[in-house]
Every structure is written in C-alpha cells, then in structure tokens.
Structure 1
C-alpha cells in the first residue's frame, strides 16, 4: 500500500513538472498476409492488383500481396468468358474468376475485383441493390463504380481476421 502511495506521488510530481509517464500500448497482432497469384488473370492483372489494394486500404487485420517466388498462393485469380465467381476453401483461401461477361455488360472491373476478393475474405453476397454495398454485386446498377467496401463490410473482415480461430466453410459465389 505504501509503495502505491509513493508511486502516485512520484507520478503527480512528474506531471506537475511537465513530464508525461508513458505506459505500454497493448500489443496488436500483425496483419495476416494472404498471397494472391494473378498470373492467369490475363488482361485483368492490373485490375486484380487494384482490387487487392482497395482492401489493403480498407482493413488492418489482413493484407493481400502478390505471390512471390517460392511461395504458394492463398488465392488464385483467373480470367474467362463467364460470370465472375469465387470458390472458397477456407477463410482467405481459394480462387476467383474475373468473368468477361460482366465486364462486357458494363460492370466496373475494379468493383468486380474487390467484390470477388471480398468472398475470399469471408463475405457473402448481400444482393441489397445498393451501390454503397460492395457485396451487393450485380444487384447494384450496372453504372455503379464504387469499388470500396462499406464500414460494415470492412469491420466484418477485420473481425474475421482478428483471430485465427474463425472458420468459414467452403462455398461457391457467382456474380449473377
């Protein structure tokens, strides 16, 4: 008890003298790194990189990075003539397709890329029809160019990656 009183007095004197006592901030976990391989995304490689950067700017608990030599990617990205779609095997793992059919119909490629990455980050389709909701997918108007997750979507991803113990079952998501 006496030690606490002495410590409180020392801190009070230091504070009066303009000295601030610093306490250690709680440790924060490093973000989980997910590597993606866009080598098969053909003409959409830059758009895939843009979609990853959108998520990197929106969340703190996970980072999407291009795969480096000698690493196995968590996410593989392909391009084909169908609808965009994602195949998840677990949280942060799987593949997705940049489907030319949606692009040819006028959907915004960066929005498609960010949306499909969203599935690999654990988000389902929401079909709200709102441009503000990234996971509304093709239910939003074709002229919607918003590629950014809303606050709830970003918070959900951050929460999912705050702990390694969160499990997300495998699933297939199709844009249309």
Structure 2
C-alpha cells in the first residue's frame, strides 16, 4: 500500500520539477512569492563584428556583465542595440539611451598599457547606464583611466552592479543620453555632445 502511494507520487514530483526547471528565475520568484517584485530580464544584442582585434575581448566583457547583474543579459547578434567599432583614437562611448549606443575601442589606451578587458567592461558600463567616476580606485570599474595603468580589474563593484540592476529595474540612470563619454587620462574626463 505504501509503495503504491510512493509510486503514484513520483510522477507528480517529476512533473513539478520539470515545470520549475523551465520557468526563468524572475518568474520563479513571482510564482513562489520569494524575493521582491520580479522584473523581466532585458536582453541587449551587441554587434562586435567591426571591433577588429577587440572582438574577443568584447565577448569576454559581455560575459563579465552577464555574471555580475541579473536584470540585463548581453548577447552577440543583430539587429544590435549597441555596436562596437575599433579605431586609433581613445576609447569612448556614445550613449543614445539605456542599452543603446556605440562603443569605439580606441587603440590609444591599449598602446599606453591599459588593460583591454577593463576598457571593454568600462565602456559597456556606459551603455548600461553608468557615468564616469574618476575615483582613482582600481576596485571601481567606472573610475576608468583615473586608476593606475597597472589596474587589471575588469569587474564592476557591488555598487556598480546594484546600479545597473536598478537601471534595468526602472530607476533613472545617471548616465547622460546623447553624449559621448571619453575618459582620457590627460583630461578630467570628457562629456561632449554625441556625433
């Protein structure tokens, strides 16, 4: 008798587990009532096909952000929300709106010894709504070139991760749209109208 109850319960248990494994985490929280208000994960597509030698590093930077935040996911593809180009200038980002814009991976910074993965994650940070913050600390991704050239930290701080999650959860981003962010070490950081 007990064995037959057990055998009847097993398919129901397996069916329930199969259902839960197909529900995305934000929906799982909404169904279980756990956590705070669930929000959909926003998927941003980026096109790094014209990023030349920086294409692989941009893919790595996208993975850094994917491992760091929960409200947005970056995937390579088109049509793209933001594009990545390579040139000989200083790295910069034109932010058209939250999750939209153009990144130029300028070779000038890598020629001076700055770490390419840190540059790439920093520039994506602008696309995700983060402004430059010239704190000089290597632990702050958005400190950019104000941190020493020897800084190889390519991970956003906990405050930066929280800010991106809030941006894609409905908060107003602090980044200015339709502006070009240039973080040269010889200037206090530049913010100019986008081209």
Picking from 104, 109, 123, the partner of 1:116 is 123
Runs of 4+ aligned residues of structure 1 deviating over 3 Å after TM superposition are 165-168
Q: Which has the higher contact order (CA 8 A, sep 6+)?
A: 1
TM-score (structure 1 length as normaliser):
0.81
> Could you report, residue by residue, the CA deviation over 1:110-156 in whole angstroms, capped at 9, with x for unpaired residues?
00000000000000000110000000000000000000000000100
- Does residue 1:30 correspond to 2:40, yes or no? yes
Alignment length, in residue pairs?
Answer: 150
Picking from 89, 107, 110, the partner of 1:103 is 110
- Does residue 1:128 correspond to 2:135, yes or no? yes
Partner of 1:41: 51
TM-score (structure 2 length as normaliser):
0.73
- Does residue 1:174 correspond to 2:178, yes or no? no
Max radius of gyration: which structure? 1
Separation of aligned partners in 2, 1:101 and 1:145: 17
How far did residue 24 of structure 1 move? 2.7
SS at match of 1:96: strand
How far did residue 103 of structure 1 move? 0.3
In structure 2, stretches of 5+ residues that fail to align are: 1-30, 185-195
> Could you report, residue by residue, the CA deviation over 1:53-73 in whole angstroms, capped at 9, with x for unpaired residues?
111110000011101xxx410
Separation of aligned partners in 1, 2:32 and 2:84: 41
Separation of aligned partners in 1, 2:177 and 2:111: 31
Q: CA RMSD in A?
A: 1.5
Partner of 2:148: 141
Separation of aligned partners in 2, 1:146 and 1:58: 13
SS at match of 2:46: strand
SS at match of 1:50: helix
In structure 1, stretches of 5+ residues that fail to align are: 1-22
